Amino acid sequence: MGFFGTLKSHLVATESLPPKVGWTRVTTNESEEPVHMSKKGVEHLVSVVEDPQYSDVSEEPYIDLEVRLTPEEALYRHTSRWYKLKRFLWDGADKHPLEQQYLLKLDFFLLSSSCLGYFIKSLNQFNITTAYMNGMEEYYSMDNNQYNYMTALFTVGYVIGQIPSNLVLHRLSARYYLGGLEVLWAFLTVLMILCGRNNIHSLYAIRFVLGLLESGYFPGLEWLLGSNYSTDELSKRSALFAVSGSVSGIVSGPLQQLIIERFGASSLPPFKWMFVFDAIISFPVGIYTMFVDPNTPSTTDAWYFTEQDRLVGLERRRRIGAELTTRTPFTWAKVKTFFGTWHIYVFPLLFLAFNNTCSAIGQPTFQSWMKITLGKPSEIYNLYPSYLKVAGIIVTLGFAYGNDFLGGRKNASFIALYFVCLVVGCALLAHWDIPQWWHWTSFYLVGVPTAWGQPFIFSWVNRLLFKNDMKRSFVVVVTNTLAYVTGAWVPIVVWNTNDQPEYHLGFTYTAYLALFGLIMTLVAYHLTQRDERLARELGQAQLLLKSRQETELYM
């Protein structure tokens, strides 16, 4: 093949499915239990299948993952509290040993690389707010809304890059593309350190390019999670992915305070030391992602998956009726069909409401109240926002594990709770003239729930659209993009830094937007219930028709 041919095969990650022709019983290792897999399945695992609908031609399994329990084991699983606890903490406990082995590898490598990447991406964004509160404002003389201009330019780049990035991800190996983005973030963060006191426009330009390069990461990872996990496994994995971003919010403030104490006398301003640490962290995470990201089950070439593991990955998708191929070309005729269902209209509006209401705590509202109104020192206003993030992580993981344990179908309830909290908290802060303890309560009401809204929205999208990979990918990207279209200019109007710390317009706007989000949640829930009811009725009708046909055949 040659060097360039080999390089291209790795960068493109060719999609391949093993042919399902007949059956044979094989043993991969003398010490292992024999398993069922398709004849020549292992040998032809790397064969390229031209027809994108190939995965739907046959209902034959790629490998036998049926769990056959003895009466004693079935009784143990039904009565043992220890087993039920294990099942709650890890949903692989009740699966076939081969699937358990596969899921352990997937959880470790995919989640570790995804969470580390999202951590450094979010840390990059949190550090701008932290830097603004710890010297950037004075260093660049940001006395005329320059902070929001910088945020807006980042968001413009983010919006522009979303759909092109998604198209690239469907042509390149996810491991190299996503890992390469992380390495580029590190390089651009170093350039931010070099922007001098009178060169804020260079900082604007770098933030724009960073937004452009970060745009593909979040929707790409949400799509990748939905491509590897089943519908009742998604909530907790999406939550772990989301809270890794919240962890960066926990780290950002204390890290800045530590830098102030250790590097306060340095010739480099303390807020720029934050960018140094960003770059130091980002580079090795990017290399790690290139090394361990598994891609999708049909394109994986991960070194830690055996040929048997690859069959398990494909069979997991086949069993839930998911589309196996993830490289179907985007065509305008195909995209037009996506606009014939409600998902493309409702979920983008729902996520817009979520994403934009997060500004109630994403803007330096909590910090400026403590700094200006309460007169607290930096060790207070840098550290206390971390407590909100810790509380949000704990609550989010509890909700996510509970949701998956119950079948992964309670997304609407948790999303509705998010918007209720935001309506109440923002209404109180918009009034502002309230007792101090109400201020603390209100900031927790608008700060803690932001951790759980995102994973429940995107795991809902992945759960509903798993049978159509292209549509699922497209809806994820459009859902994420629309939120940032308004996020590019609305903060300049409603979160004007000249209004700090009260932000009356910002909190009022957010309260009404949260109410709109609550309405969209109810709409999405109603339409989901309607579709599921129609699907059940269609299934019953098909069974009845099949029964009649079989009866007529034997009469």
Which sign, positive or negative, has the C-alpha torsion 8, 13, 14, 20? positive
- How many residues comprise the chain? 555
pLDDT score recorded for residue 55? 38
pLDDT score recorded for residue 89? 82
Q: Do domains 106-320 and 333-534 have the same CATH topology?
A: yes
For 190-219, give one letter per residue: b (16+ CB within 10 A) or e.
bbbeebeeeebeebbebbbbbbbbbbbbbb
pLDDT score recorded for residue 46? 35
Which sign, positive or negative, has the C-alpha torsion 401, 404, 405, 410? positive
CATH number of 333-534: 1.20.1250.20
pLDDT score recorded for residue 298? 87
**CA-based end-to-end distance of the chain:** 60
Rounded Cα gap, residues 440 and 337, in angstroms: 48
Q: What is the pTM of this model?
A: 0.77
Tokens encoding 422: 């935001």
**Residue 317 CB-density burial (10 A; 0-12 exposed, 13-18 middle, 19+ buried):** buried
Each of the 555 residues of the chain gets a pLDDT tens digit; together they read 554 455 555 566 666 666 553 333 333 333 333 334 444 433 333 333 333 333 343 468 888 888 888 888 888 888 888 888 888 888 888 899 999 999 999 999 999 999 999 988 888 777 777 778 778 888 888 777 788 788 888 888 888 888 888 778 877 888 899 999 999 988 888 888 888 888 888 888 998 998 888 888 888 888 899 889 988 888 888 888 888 887 887 777 777 778 777 776 777 887 888 888 888 888 999 999 999 999 989 888 899 999 999 999 999 988 888 887 777 777 788 888 888 889 999 999 999 999 899 888 888 888 888 888 888 887 788 778 888 888 888 998 888 888 887 777 888 999 999 999 999 999 999 988 888 889 999 999 998 998 888 889 998 998 888 888 888 888 998 898 888 888 777 877 888 877 888 888 999 999 999 999 999 999 999 999 998 888 788 777 777 776 666 666 555
Tokens encoding 344: 């493309």
Rounded Cα gap, residues 9 and 1, in angstroms: 10
Residues 6 or more apart in contact with residue 290 via CB below 8 angstroms: 175, 176, 179, 180
> Which DSSP category does 134 fall into?
I
Residue with tokens 């979303």: 162
DSSP output for 399-466: HHHHHHHTTS--HHHHHHHHHHHHHHHHHHHHH--S-HHHHHHHHHHHHSTHHHHHHHHHHHHHHHST
Class of domain 106-320: mainly alpha
Where along the chain do its domains lie? 106-320, 333-534
Cis peptide before 19 (omega within 30 of 0): no
For 230-266, give one letter per residue: b (16+ CB within 10 A) or e.
bbbbbbbbbbbbbbbbbbbbbbbbebbbebbeeeeee
pLDDT score recorded for residue 9? 59
